[in-house]
């Protein structure tokens, strides 16, 4: 599948945004100190800005941007519609939560709104993940890893951001950095498990089945319908060299997960906490963008069978 | 509305039956489809760089040729690929705007291009690669089963069929109601063992493909060059061959 910049930015930025909002909500629900009033306010601000940037990025790939509002209508059947609706509903929840926590820190209203904000955030990320997980023709997406993985990456990236904000507010990253380190470790394991799973999958279907011949009939392409590329090949037939992919996987593992784990641990131990937690965020962002690029580039689509590819 | 309509077992299922035995791979169906749907009101199929080095554009129908079978008895199978108007079309349910829909009355899957936002998710959801994006108008395009021909009362009744069916010189394409067991298309499917494409994915396509038949005429193996080298004729041939190859 062609890795479109708009979708990579959308899923990565909203991962940070909703991950951060989840942690802020849980932080307040668990009894954040009154001194954290501004931290929560600023955190919700950062989350809202990142989510908005991500959602704007997502509209860039639309053929008819001016009609984007129509995407809220089909929530009964479409995960994309549900994602849009969940993202929009999360705005007033986030703002109400920030306002309640600012006006009356630690009040029951603020605490319960914190839980609601966390649930709305995770719900939005889940909807995003299900857009991919529900697509049967793409075996690398339509599996039991996709939805939990998106939630894990959001919680991980949000925790690195939470640790950075906590360091900016109080000079130490404390518990937040432990969460980020734990998140990085969880994300690393999840990514390795995902690659292990997709690498061991067998092809979804054969060319014989795609052209209606009995299973096992040998078939190979003789003539393609056209000499040049077309939409199907550009969008669904994206290919990446195996060696190139292996290199990018190593980069994603080291930059996206191992380095943030290291920097979060350093921040937790109080070693240059500001620099460490900043580096953890920067590495997580770069690594997750790489990981997301691979999630698309290495995904194969059944329709490419007709052009002689293995899927 | 991208929820699938409630369709009883008696609901009409208009679709195509494509005979892979007689299809000669001439691309006439694709060309006539392009012609009709570019000129008609139902859709405009754009071309990008049509006379340049990399011609490209939107087609509802594309013809592949494959070689099947094993060494010694391999054969060519020409395979026209277009929308199958599935009973379980994921392309419809993933649509966030309601632009993609399946008609309750005849099962035809359509795109309302006035509602489409061009997110391309439907093309990702189709395993058959039947939907193509129109870069010029920013919306998704797909086969309409020539809905502007099949219900057009101003056309003579014999012409109320999709452009691809009307033009096929090999009569390899058939159009009709696949829910009606007495229809011409249903009988063909029953007689010839018509099959679904990618049944394992569960889309329940309406269109059926008739598999290639085994050759009915047995021909004697052709004499090979080696076998022709016997007797006086063979000697003469060798002589001629020598003379010519000097």
Domain extents for chain A?
Answer: 1-134, 136-311
pLDDT at B98 over 60: yes
Instruction: Tell me, yes or no, if B121 comes closer than 8 A to chain A by beta carbon.
Output: yes
β-pairing, B100-102 vs B109-111, is antiparallel
What total number of domains does chain B contain?
Answer: 1
Instruction: With H, G, I as helix, E, B as strand and everything else as coil, classify residue B231.
Output: helix
**Which positions in chain A touch B119 (Cβ < 8 Å)?**
61-63, 71, 80
B189: nearest Cα among B179, B199, B201, B204? B179
Instruction: Tell me, yes or no, if B214 comes closer than 8 A to chain A by beta carbon.
Output: no
DSSP E strand stretches across chain B = 14-19, 47-48, 56-57, 61-68, 75-82, 100-102, 109-111, 132-134, 139-141, 173-177, 208-210
β-pairing, B100-102 vs B208-210, is unpaired
**Which positions in chain A touch B3 (Cβ < 8 Å)?**
74, 76-77
Q: How far apart are CA A105 and CA A137, in angstroms?
A: 49
**Which positions in chain A touch B28 (Cβ < 8 Å)?**
none
pLDDT for B71 equals 65
**Bridge-partner residues for A41, per DSSP?**
none
Q: How far apart are CA B18 and CA A232, in angstroms?
A: 22
Q: Give percent above pLDDT 70 in chain A.
A: 100
pLDDT-based confidence at residue B228 (cuts at 50, 70, 90): low
Q: Residue B101 sits in which domain range? A: 14-210
pLDDT at B43 over 70: no
Other CB atoms within 10 Å distance of the CB of residue B124: 24
Q: Do A264 and A276 contact (CB within 8 A), yes or no?
A: yes
Q: Give percent above pLDDT 90 in chain B.
A: 73
3-state secondary structure chain A: CCCCHHHHHHHHHHHHHHHHHHHHHHHHHCCCCHHHHHHHHHHHHHHHHHHHHHHHHHHCCCCCHHHHHHHHCCCCCCHHHHHHHHHHHHHHHHHHHHHHHHHCCCCHHHHHHHHHHHHHHHHHHHHHHHHHHCCCCCCCCCCCCHHHHHHHHHHHHHHHHHHHHHHHHHCCCHHHHHHHHHHHHHHHHHHHHHHHHHHHCCCCCCHHHHCCCCCCCCEEEEECCCCCCCHHHHHHCCCCCHHHHHHHHHHHHHHHHHHHHHHHHHHHHCCCHHHHHHHHHHHHHHHHHHHHHHHHHCCCCHHHHHHCCCC
Instruction: Tell me, yes or no, if B108 comes closer than 8 A to chain A by beta carbon.
Output: no
Instruction: With H, G, I as helix, E, B as strand and everything else as coil, classify residue B80.
Output: strand
Q: How far apart are CA A178 and CA B240, in angstroms?
A: 91
Q: How far apart are CA A217 and CA A22, in angstroms?
A: 52
Q: How far apart are CA A34 and CA A98, in angstroms?
A: 13
A94: nearest Cα among A55, A42, A159? A42
Q: What does the pLDDT average to over A102-129?
A: 96
Q: Which residues 87-106 in chain B show a CB within 8 A of chain A?
A: 90, 92-99
**Which positions in chain B touch A137 (Cβ < 8 Å)?**
124-127, 201
Question: Mean pLDDT in chain A?
Answer: 95
Is B226 inside a domain boundary?
no
Q: Do B14 and B145 contact (CB within 8 A), yes or no?
A: yes
Q: How far apart are CA B243 and CA B246, in angstroms?
A: 6
pLDDT at A292 over 80: yes
Question: Mean pLDDT in chain B?
Answer: 91
Other CB atoms within 10 Å distance of the CB of residue B165: 23
Q: Give percent above pLDDT 90 in chain A.
A: 91
Which residue is closest to A61 within chain B, CA to CA?
A: B119
pTM: 0.91
Question: B206 is written with which tokens?
Answer: 């309406």
> To probe the interface with A, which of B198, B204, B205, B210 has the most A CB atoms within 10 Å?
B198
Q: Do B3 and B100 contact (CB within 8 A), yes or no?
A: no
Beta carbons of A61 and B119 less than 8 Å apart: yes
Q: Do B110 and B122 contact (CB within 8 A), yes or no?
A: no
pLDDT for B232 equals 80
Q: Which residues contact B208 (CB under 8 A, 6 or more apart)?
A: B15, B16, B17, B18, B178, B185, B189, B194, B195, B196
Q: Which residues contact A211 (CB under 8 A, 6 or more apart)?
A: A219, A306, B20, B64, B66, B77, B79, B197, B209
pLDDT for B230 equals 67
Beta carbons of A78 and B128 less than 8 Å apart: no
Is B233 inside a domain boundary?
no
pLDDT for B236 equals 86
Which residue is closest to B97 within chain A, CA to CA?
A: A71
Instruction: Tell me, yes or no, if B19 comes closer than 8 A to chain A by beta carbon.
Output: no
Question: A253 is written with which tokens?
Answer: 């593992």
Beta carbons of B56 and A64 less than 8 Å apart: no
CATH number for the domain including B119?
3.30.70.20
Q: How far apart are CA A199 and CA B62, in angstroms?
A: 32
Which residue is closest to B194 within chain A, CA to CA?
A: A212
Runs of H (alpha helix) within B151-246: 163-167, 184-192, 231-244
pLDDT for B217 equals 65
ipTM: 0.94
**Bridge-partner residues for B63, per DSSP?**
B80
pLDDT for B222 equals 61
Is B217 inside a domain boundary?
no
Q: What does the pLDDT average to over A121-140?
A: 98
Instruction: With H, G, I as helix, E, B as strand and everything else as coil, classify residue B190.
Output: helix
Which residue is closest to A307 within chain B, CA to CA?
A: B64
pLDDT for B231 equals 76
pLDDT at A127 over 60: yes
**Which residue from A213, A225, A301 is facing B62, i.e. has the nearest CB?**
A225
Q: Which residues 38-57 in chain B show a CB within 8 A of chain A?
A: 54-57
Beta carbons of A63 and B54 less than 8 Å apart: no
Is B222 inside a domain boundary?
no
pLDDT for B240 equals 87
Q: Residues B180-191: pLDDT tens digits?
A: 999 999 999 999
Q: Do B109 and B91 contact (CB within 8 A), yes or no?
A: yes
**Which residue from B57, B90, B98 is facing A73, i.e. has the nearest CB?**
B98
Is B7 inside a domain boundary?
no
């Amino acid at each position: 599948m062609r890795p479109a910049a708009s979708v990579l930015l959308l899923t990565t930025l909203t991962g940070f945004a909703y991950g951060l909002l989840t942690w802020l909500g849980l932080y307040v629900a668990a009894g954040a100190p009154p001194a954290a009033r501004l931290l929560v306010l600023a955190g919700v601000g950062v989350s809202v800005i990142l989510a908005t940037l991500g959602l704007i990025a997502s509209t860039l790939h639309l053929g008819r941007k001016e009609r984007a509002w129509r995407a809220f209508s089909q929530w009964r059947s479409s995960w994309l519609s549900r994602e849009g609706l969940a993202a929009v509903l999360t705005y007033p929840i986030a703002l109400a939560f920030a306002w309640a926590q600012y006006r009356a820190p630690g009040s029951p209203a603020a605490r319960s709104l914190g839980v609601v904000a966390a649930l709305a955030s995770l719900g939005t990320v889940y909807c995003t993940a299900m857009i991919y997980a529900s697509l049967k023709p793409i075996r690398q997406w339509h599996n039991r890893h996709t939805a939990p993985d998106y939630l894990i990456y959001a919680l991980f990236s949000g925790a690195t951001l939470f640790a950075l904000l906590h360091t900016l507010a109080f000079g130490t990253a404390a518990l937040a950095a432990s969460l980020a380190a734990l998140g990085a470790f969880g994300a690393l394991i999840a990514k390795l498990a995902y690659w292990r799973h997709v690498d061991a999958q067998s092809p979804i279907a054969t060319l014989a089945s795609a052209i209606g011949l009995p299973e096992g009939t040998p078939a190979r392409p003789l003539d393609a319908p056209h000499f040049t590329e077309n939409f199907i090949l550009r969008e669904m037939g994206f290919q990446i060299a195996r060696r190139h992919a292996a290199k990018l996987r190593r980069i994603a593992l080291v930059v996206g997960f191992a380095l943030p784990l290291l920097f979060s641990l350093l921040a937790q131990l109080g070693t240059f906490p500001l620099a460490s937690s900043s580096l953890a965020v920067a590495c997580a962002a770069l690594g997750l963008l790489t990981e997301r690029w691979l999630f698309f580039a290495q995904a194969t689509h059944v329709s490419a069978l007709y052009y002689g590819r293995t899927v | 509305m991208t929820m699938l309509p409630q369709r009883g077992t008696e609901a009409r299922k208009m679709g195509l039956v494509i005979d892979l035995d007689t299809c000669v791979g001439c691309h006439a169906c694709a060309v006539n489809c392009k012609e009709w749907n570019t000129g008609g009101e139902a859709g405009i199929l754009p071309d990008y760089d049509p006379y340049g080095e990399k011609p490209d554009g939107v087609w509802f129908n594309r013809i592949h040729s494959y070689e099947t079978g094993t060494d010694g008895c391999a054969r060519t199978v020409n395979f026209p690929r277009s929308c199958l108007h599935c009973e379980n079309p994921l392309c419809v349910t993933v649509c966030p705007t309601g632009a993609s829909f399946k008609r309750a009355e005849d099962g035809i899957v359509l795109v309302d291009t006035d509602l489409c936002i061009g997110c391309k998710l439907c093309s990702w959801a189709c395993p058959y690669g039947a939907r193509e994006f129109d870069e010029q108008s920013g919306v998704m395009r797909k086969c309409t089963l020539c809905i502007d021909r099949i219900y057009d009362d101003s056309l003579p009744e014999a012409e109320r069929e999709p452009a691809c069916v009307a033009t096929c010189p090999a009569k390899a394409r058939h159009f009709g109601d696949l829910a009606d067991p007495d229809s011409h298309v249903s009988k063909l499917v029953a007689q010839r063992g018509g099959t679904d494409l990618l049944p394992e994915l569960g889309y329940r396509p309406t269109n059926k493909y008739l598999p290639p038949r085994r050759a009915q005429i047995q021909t004697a193996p052709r004499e090979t060059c080696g076998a022709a080298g016997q007797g006086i004729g063979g000697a003469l041939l060798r002589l001629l061959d020598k003379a010519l190859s000097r």
